[in-house]
Every structure is written in C-alpha cells, then in structure tokens.
Amino acid sequence: MRHAKEEPSCSATEAIDLISAVKELHGLSFQELNKLLRDSENFTIHYHTEKGLMKIDMEKLAAFLPLHLLGVLMSSDRDETLFRYLLCGIRLLHSLCDLASRQSKVEQVTILLDDVKVSEQLLDLVFYLLIVLGGYKQENHNFGLIPLVHSALVASSLHLLTGCIASQWQDLVHVLLAHPKVDIFMDAAFGAVLTAIGFLEIQLSAHHIDFRSLTVERMVNFLCQQCEASLQFLQSLCQQKMFRERLLRNKELCGKGGVLFLARAILKLNVPPFTGSSRIAAALSRMKAKILSILLSLCEAESISYLDEVASSPESLNLAKSVALEVLELLKTALGRDPKHLTSCSDRSYPTGFLQLNAMRLADIFSDDSNFRSYITIHFTKVLTAIFSLPHGDFLSSWCSSNLPMREEDGSLEYDSFAAAGWVLDKLSSLDLSNGTNLEFSSLPNNMPQTSYEHQRTSLFVKVIANLHCFVPTICEEQERNLFLLKFLECLQMDLSKSLPEFSINSDAPKATTVCRNLRSLLSHAESLIPNFLNEEDVQLLR
C-alpha cells in the first residue's frame, strides 16, 4: 500500500507516526486508551510495542487521523491491504470518539473532534469511503476474505456518523441535509450496502451445501451481521421525516430505482431448505423486514408519491413490479405456513422481524395504487382464493383469532463497530476462521402487544381484498372492473391443494360453501375491528 500524501503542515515523521499509531492502537478499547491518557503528560501517551516504547501525541492523532485516512484512501490501490488498514483506522476513530464522549480528562481531544474542520474531514472520509466501497468490483469471484473486510468497513463507516458527528438521529439528519453533497452520500450509502449484499449473495450461493461447516457458517453469519447493521442504519435515517422527504427527491435512488435495486437484491437472498443455519435464516428474514420497512416509509411519505416517482418511466415501473412480485412470493410462502406447525421450529429462538406484517402492509399499498392493482390481482388472487378455501377451523384460527400460536418477533441489532472490526482483523491475521469464538450481537426487542399483531394482520388482509375489489371509474381503467371477482372465480376452478403447502385443502369439498362460510366469519370479525384497525368503507367492500 502506498502511503498517502499528507498536508504540508504534517512532516514525513508525523505521517509515519500516524501509520504506526493506527497499527498499534486500533486494538485498544476506549477504556484502555483512557487509562493510558490518564497516566500521560501533555496528552502524550507511552505505549509498549514489540519494537519498544512508542510515544504518541493524542492531540495530533485526533486532529490528523481523519485526513490521513482520507489521503491513504485516495492514493492507494483498492486491495485487501488498503481495506484492512482503513478498518484499523476507522476502528481507532470509533475508540477516540467513545473516549472523547465519556471522560473529562480528554476535553482537549473532545474539542478537536468537535472542531468544524475535523468534522468536515470525518464527513469527507465517510462519504468517499462509501463511494469506493459501493464501486468495488472484481473480475472473478475469488475474493478471499475481502467480503468480510468490505462489509465491516461499510457498517463501521456508517456508524462513525452517529459515533463522531451526532449521536441523535434528528441531529445527524440536520448535519447531513445541510451538507452540499448529501445526494452523493445517499447514493454512496445505498450503493455500498448493495455491494455488500452482493458479496453475501455470492457466499450464500457458493457455500449453501456446506453450511454445517463451522468455518462457512461463521463467515456467512458475520456477513449477515454487517449487512444487517448497515441496513438498520439506513432504516433509522429513513424513519426521520426530513431525511425521507429529501431522499424522495433523489433521482438516482427514487426516480431511477436505486432503492428498488437494493430491495430486490435483499428479497432474493435465501438459505436453501434443510442446509441452512437457523441464525442465518433469521438474520436474512430481519434484513428483508428492514428493507420492506424502508419501502413503507417512502410509500407513506406525504409530500411526494414514491410510487408515482417509480412509475414515471417504464424501466423503474418494471423494476418496481419485480419487487412487488418478490413481496408476493414472500407472502405466498409465509401464508402457506400453518402457525401451529411453527411452535417447535428451532429458528424461533432468533427474532425474524415483522417480515410478514411489513409484506402485507406493502401489499395493501400496492393493491391501492392504480399502477399496480391489476398486477397484484393477477399474481396474488390464487393465494387469496386458497385462503378462503381453507377448512373453516383453520381459517378461523388463522384470520379470526386474537391468539395465534406463534407470531413474528422484531429486534434491533446492538451493533459494536469495535468488536466487529476486531473479529475480522483477528481472522485476517490467523487466516483461520475455524478457531476462536463466534461474534454475537444482542438484539433489543421491538415487539407489539399480542392482540395488536393479530388484529393488524387480519385488518391488512381485509384491506387488500377491499382494494382489489374496489372500482372507481374516475381512477381505474375499464378492464379492471370486476377483474378481482372474475380472477377469484377462475381460481376456484383450479386445484388449490398445493397453494398453501402446510394446510390441507379438500379438493372434493364444495368450495362455494366453504368460501361463503369463511367470508361470513371474516366479515363478522372485521366489524369488531372498527374503528381501531379498519374503517367502515373497507368492511363495506367485503360485504
């Protein structure tokens, strides 16, 4: 790796000291750095290395480290050596920021990190690093351990913003929106996460047969953790109204489908049956729930219609329909599972996120939009018909109950950049993933009351049916009139026994009688959900 050119104010000796400081100090936690600093004079710490005693001026380290890392990034080859060094540097920056935010002894370091110039350099570093990570490509798939370092860099770089710039999301959003290159940040952030997801997809495809191998399972689990941490960061930004409204004006991400490309890539991730790890399967489910949450936040924005934006060109509309199809396929799988069969499933020990609930929310939004209603009708009516064809007892327990045997559990990953970087750097040093401990992050539960979940699920089911059945002459095209009803009747003539794999649908039973009985029960239950979960208009369309 070629060394970066420093500013004229930095001598060659200081540049070498910075490189040495990064290599020697990145492994020290903020507690260890704080102890060294408390024992120091004039903010110069003394640290024993294999090469002897090392003196480091912490003021200069804090002042010049962001610019140094930016210089190294701009002047070096894009290889594992560069990424490894940058990960060490980002890890050290995280420790310095933790240090500065906790102790009065390091007020001078705090002042330096809060300096406008240093803050600008930190933002420039994160922005440019995300651009590089998003654009990283290799001709073949012989990546070695690059995916591990890459995914950790993406997550650590994003979390540097809350670690060093602003700890509160609303404050961070104000800083980002005030930056003249906010669009570049948005493009780069989503692009970097998309590239990391691409690495994960390659690993899942290459290793799914050997998932019982501890080495492979650890590698893929680490990639899942980093991708989820990055995606969770984007989700938190999109939950802020000001950021969301600004994102909707980003042509690359909204008008040209940048967010949709990321959504499709994540929704296509899969662990083949019987070969996967339960914690990896749960992590993929949480990631899918999070990207659906991002799409929901954009669709529910008030100032700009996201679906109108994506429908503004044939290319982005087709992309949106492909994402809608992935959502429907996901729903077909989820709704085809009998909740009674999930009680003994081992992967229930890991939260899977509100995947089904978010997918149903999106189905509600898509089915209520004139650009997608016919598409949803064509591709989803068979599943809806199969649900209404269930034996009455199964239908009641699934859709008219306030006490499902199992329900989805959501959780927020408590990401630790220092631990993540340390784990992958340790593996790079040993070149042996089979040794050592697993890296695990705890998950903060983010659940809702039991009955609220069941009632939301049923209300969304009713809303989708109401949307598909509704015909407004001033909005809908003439060919949509009675399209859902005709498609429903067409599907009733089909063999529906395989549409919901874990349920038993008696093909010899009188379907019309079963459907009418289930519909009456749903209508009665839906009326009890007014006005907290449903409005009168939705239920009226069900009658």
Domain shared by 93 and 142, yes or no: no
Which of 81, 114, 147 is the endpoint of a domain? 114
Its sign, for the CA torsion 121, 85, 142, 415, is: negative
Domain shared by 382 and 326, yes or no: yes
Which of 64, 98, 114 is the endpoint of a domain? 114
Domain shared by 176 and 102, yes or no: no
Domain shared by 139 and 183, yes or no: yes
Q: Which of 187-196, 263-272, 278-287, 504-513 has the lowest mean pLDDT?
A: 504-513
Domain shared by 148 and 192, yes or no: yes
Evaluate if residue 112 carries a pLDDT over 60. no
* CA R_g for the chain: 26
| pLDDT tens profile 250-290 | 999 998 999 999 999 999 998 866 456 788 999 999 999 99
Domain shared by 110 and 122, yes or no: no
Q: Which of 276-280, 291-295, 297-301 has the lowest mean pLDDT?
A: 276-280
Position 9 scores a pLDDT of 40
On whether the pTM is more than 0.75, the answer is yes
- CA-nearest of 438, 419, 460, 482 to 229 is 419
Question: Which range marks the domain in which residue 6 is found?
Answer: 1-114
Domain shared by 351 and 396, yes or no: yes
pLDDT band with cut points at 50, 70 and 90 for residue 138: low
Domain shared by 60 and 137, yes or no: no
Tokens 């395989």 found at = 498
Domain shared by 402 and 363, yes or no: yes
137 contact partners, CB below 8 Å, separation of at least 6: none
Q: Which amino acid is at 413?
A: L
Domain shared by 107 and 253, yes or no: no
Share the mean pLDDT of the chain. Answer: 86
Domain shared by 77 and 214, yes or no: no
Q: By percentage, how much of the chain surpasses pLDDT 70? A: 87
pLDDT band with cut points at 50, 70 and 90 for residue 79: confident
- CA-nearest of 404, 393, 521 to 462 is 521
DSSP states of 325-369 = HHHHHHHHHHHTS-GGGGTT-GGGGS---SHHHHHHHHHHHHHTS
> Which range in 77-81, 196-200, 441-445, 510-514 is most confidently predicted, on average pLDDT?
196-200
Which of 84, 114, 144 is the endpoint of a domain? 114
- Alpha helix ranges (H) inside 135-145: none
Q: Is there a cis peptide before residue 66, judged by omega within 30 degrees of 0?
A: no
- Residues 197 and 229 sit within 8 Å (Cβ to Cβ): no
Distance in angstroms (rounded) separating the CA atoms of residues 19 and 84: 13
Domain shared by 165 and 57, yes or no: no
Distance in angstroms (rounded) separating the CA atoms of residues 232 and 237: 9
What's the structural domain count of the chain? 2
